[in-house]
A = this chain, B = another copy of it.
């Protein structure tokens, strides 16, 4: 093919890039979208310079650059030709699968982010930018910034009765990252079988499997994990993942006898207990029950997060590990934790200034009221049973009577059609077929002003769902 001119090639030079870069970008575009094909000669430098109104030196430099990058081949001066290059990447739709797409968001596990302390965060960042030494911009300690580990050690001891110290804590990027790192480390130590609660958050099973451990479901009753069954498993397990503060999704608080029995079991079997303390701060009928970890700091790996008390968008979680696991866990995490040092300092500042405690104090009565109202309205329906555990951000609602046979999966789909977001209970069981039908409802997500309207819509929707199923 003969040489074409800049006009024939429809070259558009964006001068805001600078002349040389503009010429390069125009030619790269022409190559990528096929106006110039493999083997085609580029215009002569003289004619292109004249056509584009730039110096010949600029065009020569642009051709050299394109040659250095592999877009063009051949000596400058002789015919420079297009080298073999790739096609344009396509663009596609890209909605956030984790964002509330539905208007009435009763998806479990989401706090009311409209309560985020924006002013306090801004003040914390201002303090850091004014005062922090340069080293905060360098590589953070693999465990996380010492300032945050100190602040967290105090908070966890005070608020959750966790026995910890700054060197016991590792900061990671969210609860799922923590669970993944812990699972990966257990697998690396050859501890590949982990007992999990049945039902549990289905998503966490996937995370553990991906990390290389096998999940062995152990039933949950109204008091949480059936600890007594751990000894009766056909094959022994190396660890157990448990939610003692309030089991998800059932909502039970693990009672004292089961706590000591669990620690006792772990000691006898040289096994680890992984404590999922994702929203232990929220209890409405009494003070929160302290973490299991305080009973056996040498046996329990405690995992907490800022996702429920502050915001999931922070992607902040922390692991307190027994002394014997710490070095290995850090080697597994390596420098993959991914949590910004600046964010760690800002969060530490919020803890030190009492903002985290204040948020929990403000939100606790708000969530309690929401929970009570949600529960009362669900109870009025007559076909839904809710437990009386008064904790957390979620409510487990079981279908009872004739409704026990209604497919919760279908009902969730019908709710979604009416822009109501809930999750089915059966999906949380290791074997969803034949599992109890019901709904898991989060009451944290709607902003305060919208909660009433969303609650009304939820109830009207459930009434319609039921009416459709009754003769």
Contact = CB atoms under 8 A, between A and B. Distances in A.
A114 B134 contact: yes
A69 B210 CA distance: 33
A314 B342 contact: yes
A436 to B, nearest CB: 27
Given A118-B129, A210-B334, A289-B68, A137 B97 contact: no
B88 A297 contact: yes
A79 interface: no
Interface stretch (A46-54, A165-173, A383-391): A165-173
Query: How many residues of A sit at the interface, in one of the four size bands?
Result: 35 or more
B263 A172 contact: no
Interface string A1-35: 00000000000000001001100110010001000
A202 interface: no
Given A73-B260, A85-B296, A161-B69, A94 B314 contact: no
A141 interface: yes
Contact of A138 (B91, B180, B312): B312
A374 interface: no
This chain: how many copies in the complex?
A: 2
A99 interface: yes
A176 B138 contact: no
Nearest to A125: B125
A468 interface: no
A164 B65 contact: no
A259 interface: yes
Given A315-B339, A340-B314, A134 B122 contact: no
A286 B68 CA distance: 11
A333 to B, nearest CB: 10
Nearest to A322: B89
Contacts of A21: 287
A335 to B, nearest CB: 5
B143 A334 contact: no
Most central of A121, A165, A338 by chain B CB within 10 Å: A338
Interface in A313-347: 313-316, 320, 322-323, 332, 334-343
Nearest to A158: B17
A141 B447 contact: no
A142 interface: yes
A459 interface: no
Contacts of A320: 89
Given A24-B161, A69-B294, A125-B125, 9 more contacts: A84-B260, A86-B263, A92-B323, A116-B137, A121-B129, A172-B338, A174-B338, A177-B335, A315-B337
Interface of A: 17, 20-21, 24-25, 28, 32, 65, 67-73, 83-94, 96-100, 110, 113-114, 116, 118-119, 121-122, 125-126, 129-130, 134-143, 146, 158, 161, 163-168, 172-174, 176-177, 180, 206-207, 210, 253, 255-257, 259-260, 263-264, 286-287, 289-292, 294-299, 310-316, 320, 322-323, 332, 334-343, 447
